[in-house]
Amino acid sequence: MSQHSLLDPSIFSSLESKLEEETRIRDALTQILQRLERSVGAAQGLLTKVHSTPRASYPQLVTQLEAAVKDEAVIVAELNELASKHPYYKFRHPPAFFSFTLRSPADL
């Protein structure tokens, strides 16, 4: 057997760094999505109050809903910024990863 290895040892360190980077990206996406799910849940909670809120209190409720939707928009922009740099996650991730409902201001 020869002294020369068939595989360059640097391949393993390269693979390790790529795996660490993929893990970091996946974790960051997961954290953003968890924040988005909480924000969507808060907005949906506010929407459920519509039927029990007196009309006189609608302006206050609308203000709260606008703030919640703006929060969702900021989080979606953050998600888009990160995911657009990594098309694999944008197009090939399991559908459950991106399972959230975003309400637009028109829905309000």
pLDDT at 107 over 50: no
Concatenating the DSSP letter of every residue in 19-44 gives HHHHHHHHHHHHHHHHHHHHHHHHHH
What does the block give as tokens for 49? 């109050």
By C-alpha distance, which of 78, 53, 75 is closest to 64? 53
Q: Does position 15 have pLDDT exceeding 80, yes or no?
A: yes
Residue 83, pLDDT > 80, answer yes
Look up residue 88 and give its amino acid: Y
Q: What is the pLDDT of residue 1?
A: 42
pLDDT interval class at 36 (50, 70, 90): very high
Query: Residue 55's pLDDT is what?
Result: 93
Distance, CA of 49 to CA of 58 (rounded, Å): 10
Does residue 60 surpass a pLDDT of 80? yes
Average pLDDT in the chain: 82
Q: List Cβ neighbours of 98 (8 Å cut-off, separation of 6 or more).
A: 33
> What is the pLDDT at residue 10?
85
Cβ proximity of 49 and 102 under 8 Å:
no
Nearest to 59 by CA among 10, 41, 67: 67
User: Which is more confidently placed, 90 or 31?
Assistant: 31
